[in-house]
A and B are shown apart, each in its own frame.
Chain A
Amino acid sequence: MDKRKNNITSAQLMGLIVSIQVGIGMASLPSNLAAICGHDGWISILIYGIIITAVIALIIKLMNRYNNKSIYEINKFLYGRYLGGLLNLLIVLYLWYSACLSLRSYINYIHVDLLRSTPSFVLCVFTLIPTCYLAWYGLKYITRFAQMIYLSIGFCLILFLIVFSDLRLNFLMPIAQSGIEGIKASYSPCIFAFLGYEVISVIYPEITNKPKTMKVVIGSNIITTIFFVILVLVTTSFFGEEMLKKSIYPMIKLSRSYRAPIIERMDVLYIAVWLPAMAMPISGYFSVTYYSIRKLLNLKKKAIYLIVFTLITILLSNVPKSISNIKVYTNIMTISGTIFSIFLVICYLFSFIRKKGVKTHA
């Protein structure tokens, strides 16, 4: 493996994490939250954002305890060759599952909003062409492309600004009506939206300026949290919780509801700017999974494996057939992501007991 092609800077890492988190998570987040905790979704996002930041801090602390090692090597230090190997396999499966589900969710979005009759298989192939192309060259190129997320977020913020006069703040009242129960119940959509930070445990050895990693990853989570809070506040105060509950993808509806001078239909511009951004979790998870497989199995002929890996991903992503089906698979991803995060925290605590591989001055 050409090391330099996978080396990424801290700024690139920030873009990658924000792109994976924001990409597909934002599409249905406001309506999922409205269905669970009414107009208080923004409070849930804020609270879960803070919790996730604490988890990220612990993950980085775990990585810092080892000398340039990823979770795959750390597992072998902590749990031995066989149990560590099994855990590594589970992590790769989780990442692969996330890539397939991101692809499926993205294709579903295109089906609902754009190309209703185009077969999923065809859409999968065309969606994965640029991802494969970038993954072929390495993580560095994926993360460079991921910087485009800031353009998409910027466009969204402009859209929020121009609909500001149409917002009804009363739709957000009374604040905290759903109470603690609402916050607890909104666990699933919130965690799903924030997933993406866990890839840091896999790609950590490829980061060039590690001292900045903690600051950068927490920074990316703060960007995501702020963006999600604004998103939920704006969509809730624009549509009201009742209308929001009936919508699947409220952002596209918001863009359709604004009468823009000259261009007239804002949704066309929104689609053009957001479609690449929404595909970023696919490229993120896909490339990290491919990177993991190559690293663990020490593969050399990468063209053959990349093609095989792509074909299997396309086939697996076609397993969920409907929106309700995707929701079931999304819940599985949320639970798996939570287990993975808890596992990383446990690894951190366990590293104080079993100190094999730990840096001497850590």
Chain B
Amino acid sequence: MHKRGKIILLLLILIPFILCGCWDEVIVEKISFMTILGIERASQGNLKVTYGMPLIDPDVKGSRVELLDTETNLLRMSTEFLDKRASKELLAGKIQLLLYSKELAGEGRIVGINSVLERDKTNAMLAWIVVVDGSPRSLIHQAEENFKDKPITSTYVNSLLERAVRLGNINETRAFNYDLISMAPGIDNTTPMIKIADNVIEVTGLALFSGEKMVGSINAQDSGLLMAMMKTLKHKKYIYNASIPASSKETYSEKLSSAINLSQNSKKINISIKNNKPVVDIYLDLSGYADDYKWDHLNNQNEVIKVSNYVQEQLRQNCQKLIGYMQFKKSDPIGIGDMVRAKHNSYFKSVDWHTAYKGATITAHVKFNLIEYGDIQ
């Protein structure tokens, strides 16, 4: 045989082995992509796990998602177990949502359970970490059984969360950043919180963590202010429900309130250590558009200043109240501890940060300008 012939023959034998797509093909119709996982506490320290996989089989009528429940000691073992029950082979690479129950989050078990996502490269590290007020299993089942007018639960919740991020109601918390913040000293996690209410799923706000444990929660309105203090409110469409100066005759809500679209200009945090205690000043520079305001006066400069000052004081008070709540819960999502670690490292090393944070003097300073007021005289 000629030399060239030998080479061609050798290549013909080798090529099928190199093209792994030919021998290790994955047919989409024969597998189930897990898109949503509900995890909650079970007896004896175990986990109740619920898996949701969209059905893409045209032969299956009436159901959009295959739901599987089990109780297990490890997340990986639940996949192993449910693989024996599922209609198709389970694949974890497309998980969009990991729903944890509030109780499980309170026990500080999320980061431990998440280790499977970091260890096994086929898992999606971009899945949302979400805390459910109630039972994740019940939420997934109720949503699939009752919400026929809505998309499948994973798509529905995913869309809700992405919108809530755009509206400045929650921080985007994916598995990878949840894990790294859990390990970083001087900064605590927040995760979106959802619940089921009146045939809908609602994003209620943010769950607050102290170390690995969930310690409290704040509503969507306060979440926006927290994001302003974290400097993540930029380019968001956050609407602040403000009270406005009103005369004593005005009693209806449309005369007493205004919807203000807040935007963040800048944030500055000054930190010093006085009498062995951190003294923190948070300066927020915000501006806003009055999206909804009564029919009066906003073409008058004095009136604009009056409204601005009024809203500014409210924002300051709300921020201060929020800081007080977070200090009480020993939760530091702003990362003040991280800044103390960076600037006053010896002090940071000498104290237990969460205790020092609780006793810190933290003051919010807010500057607010109403910059536009619509096409009304």
A215 at the interface (CB under 8 A from B): no
Write out, one digit per residue, whether chain B residues 138-151 have a CB within 8 A of any chain A CB (1) or not (0): 00000000000000
Query: A253 and B118: CB pair below 8 A?
Result: yes
B342 at the interface (CB under 8 A from A): yes
Query: B183 and A243: CB pair below 8 A?
Result: yes
Contacts of B179 in A (CB 8 A): 243
Indicate which residue in A113, A114, A170, A238 contacts B339 across the interface (CB closer than 8 Å). Answer: A170
In the docked arrangement, what's the CA distance between A242 and B124, Å? 21
A252 at the interface (CB under 8 A from B): yes
Query: B338 and A170: CB pair below 8 A?
Result: yes
Query: B342 and A239: CB pair below 8 A?
Result: no
Residue of B14, B118, B121 most packed against chain A (CB within 10 A): B121
A246 at the interface (CB under 8 A from B): yes
Query: A256 and B18: CB pair below 8 A?
Result: no
Q: Report if A257-B125 is in contact (Cβ < 8 Å); known contacts: A174-B342, A174-B343, A177-B345.
A: yes
Indicate which residue in B121, B125, B183, B342 contacts A170 across the interface (CB closer than 8 Å). Answer: B342
B16 at the interface (CB under 8 A from A): no
B106 at the interface (CB under 8 A from A): no
Contacts of A174 in B (CB 8 A): 341-343, 345
- A111, chain B: closest CB distance, angstroms: 11
B293 at the interface (CB under 8 A from A): no
Contacts of B31 in A (CB 8 A): none
Query: A243 and B184: CB pair below 8 A?
Result: yes
Residue of A239, A242, A256, A259 most packed against chain B (CB within 10 A): A256
Indicate which residue in A129, A171, A246, A257 contacts B126 across the interface (CB closer than 8 Å). Answer: A257
Query: B180 and A239: CB pair below 8 A?
Result: yes
A173 at the interface (CB under 8 A from B): yes
B374 at the interface (CB under 8 A from A): no
B54 at the interface (CB under 8 A from A): no
Contacts of A168 in B (CB 8 A): 335, 338
Closest to A240 in B: B184
Query: A173 and B343: CB pair below 8 A?
Result: yes
Query: A173 and B125: CB pair below 8 A?
Result: no
B contacts with A: majority SS: helix
A82 at the interface (CB under 8 A from B): no
Closest to A172 in B: B342
- B28, chain A: closest CB distance, angstroms: 15
Q: Report if A242-B338 is in contact (Cβ < 8 Å); known contacts: A256-B121, A256-B176.
A: no
Query: A170 and B335: CB pair below 8 A?
Result: yes
Question: For residues 216 through 269 of chain A, which have their beta carbon under 8 Å from a beta carbon of chain B?
Answer: 238-240, 242-243, 246-247, 252-253, 256-257, 259, 265, 267
Query: B121 and A243: CB pair below 8 A?
Result: no
Query: A242 and B126: CB pair below 8 A?
Result: no
Write out, one digit per residue, whether chain B residues 115-129 have a CB within 8 A of any chain A CB (1) or not (0): 000100100111000
In the docked arrangement, what's the CA distance between A166 and B14, Å? 44
In the docked arrangement, what's the CA distance between A8 and B338, Å? 51
- B303, chain A: closest CB distance, angstroms: 38
B185 at the interface (CB under 8 A from A): yes
Contacts of B339 in A (CB 8 A): 170
Contacts of A259 in B (CB 8 A): 126, 174
Query: B180 and A243: CB pair below 8 A?
Result: yes
Query: A126 and B180: CB pair below 8 A?
Result: no
Contacts of A170 in B (CB 8 A): 335, 338-339, 341-342
Write out, one digit per residue, whether chain A residues 144-175 have a CB within 8 A of any chain B CB (1) or not (0): 00000000000000000000001010110110
- B350, chain A: closest CB distance, angstroms: 15
Write out, one digit per residue, whether chain B residues 177-217 have a CB within 8 A of any chain A CB (1) or not (0): 10110011100000000000000000000000000000000
In the docked arrangement, what's the CA distance between A243 and B343, Å? 21
- B262, chain A: closest CB distance, angstroms: 20
In the docked arrangement, what's the CA distance between A327 and B179, Å? 26
Write out, one digit per residue, whether chain B residues 16-49 have a CB within 8 A of any chain A CB (1) or not (0): 0110000000000000000000000000000000
Contacts of B14 in A (CB 8 A): 129
Contacts of A243 in B (CB 8 A): 179-180, 183-184
Query: B121 and A113: CB pair below 8 A?
Result: yes
Indicate which residue in A129, A246, A256 contacts B183 across the interface (CB closer than 8 Å). Answer: A246
Q: Report if A171-B183 is in contact (Cβ < 8 Å); known contacts: A253-B118, A253-B125, A257-B126.
A: no
Closest to B346 in A: A174
In the docked arrangement, what's the CA distance between A100 and B242, Å? 68
Closest to B121 in A: A113
Closest to B342 in A: A173
Contacts of B341 in A (CB 8 A): 170, 173-174
Contacts of A252 in B (CB 8 A): 121
Closest to B115 in A: A246
Can you identify 13 A-B contacts, CB atoms within 8 angstroms? Answer: A112-B121, A113-B121, A114-B121, A126-B17, A168-B335, A170-B335, A240-B180, A242-B185, A252-B121, A256-B126, A257-B174, A257-B176, A265-B93
Known: A170-B338, A265-B124. 13 other contacts (CB 8 A): A114-B121, A126-B18, A170-B339, A170-B341, A170-B342, A174-B343, A177-B345, A242-B185, A243-B184, A247-B118, A252-B121, A253-B125, A256-B126
The 5 lowest CB-CB distance pairs between A and B, nearest first, are: A173-B342, A242-B183, A243-B180, A257-B176, A240-B184
